[in-house]
């Protein structure tokens, strides 16, 4: 199973990626993770990326494609993969198509998880973090709002700066502006499977599995 996964901030993309990765025994490829790992391991592409980052610049599409190419050829991707966080532009989508053709990787499933924007804003602005243990919670789900249910620290909940409404709306707007053209690009070439990200996690997973099943 090979999946390219799209989803707005707060839509539950990361949660579903972990579930699908375990379900199908496939690698979850987060572009942020592989970039950090390549830099840490000082691979040839990681060294290139580090020099760019040290200059305070954005890593180029060529470097990201190189990192993804290295990753897709690793043993952990033999059974398949979930590519999460790439492509984010039409140019990246075109480059990724060329890479997949070069590696003779076919039968890609395009999965886009969607949700109402106001629901996403509400969901993300209710996130709280325990400053003691780092656990993440939804404020409405915390029964005892004084003590952390994980480490029992008192009065330790706080809202991260990037979970403020202003930042969240900005992140969602960026996602819409950059990802819609990518989905439009794929619509003309491949089937995009759209999943409603509202509701219980298990129900969303079952919806995904039922729509992937006929394509196996």
Active site positions, annotated = 13, 88, 127, 160, 171
- The Cα angle at residue 74 between residues 70 and 78, in degrees rounded to 5: 130
Q: List the one residue out of 26, 35, 31 whose CA is nearest residue 107.
A: 26
| Token pair listed for 187 | 């619509």
CB 22 within 8 A of CB 214: no
Question: Per-residue b/e over 61-92, b at no fewer than 16 CB within 10 Å?
Answer: bebbbbbbeebbeeeebeebbbbbbbbbeeeb
**Alpha carbon 141 to chain centroid, angstroms:** 24
DSSP summary character for residue 147 = B
């Amino acid at each position: 199973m090979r999946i390219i996964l799209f989803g707005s901030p707060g839509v539950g993309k990361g949660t579903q990626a972990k579930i699908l990765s375990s379900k199908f025994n496939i690698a979850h490829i987060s572009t942020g993770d592989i970039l950090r790992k390549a830099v840490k391991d000082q691979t040839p592409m990681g060294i290139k990326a580090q020099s760019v980052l040290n200059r305070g610049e954005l890593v180029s599409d060529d470097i990201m494609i190189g990192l993804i190419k290295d990753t897709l050829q690793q043993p952990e991707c033999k059974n398949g993969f979930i590519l999460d966080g790439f492509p984010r532009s039409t140019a990246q989508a075109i480059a990724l198509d060329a890479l997949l053709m070069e590696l003779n990787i076919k039968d890609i499933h395009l999965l886009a998880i969607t949700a109402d924007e106001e629901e996403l804003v509400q969901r993300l602005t209710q996130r709280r973090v325990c400053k003691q243990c780092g656990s993440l919670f939804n404020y409405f789900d915390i029964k005892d709002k004084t003590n952390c249910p994980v480490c029992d620290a008192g009065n330790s909940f706080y809202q991260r700066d990037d979970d403020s409404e202003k930042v969240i709306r900005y992140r969602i707007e960026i996602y819409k502006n950059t990802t819609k053209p990518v989905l439009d690009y794929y619509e003309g070439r491949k089937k995009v499977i759209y999943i409603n990200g509202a509701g219980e996690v298990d129900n969303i997973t079952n919806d995904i599995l039922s729509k992937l099943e006929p394509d196996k």
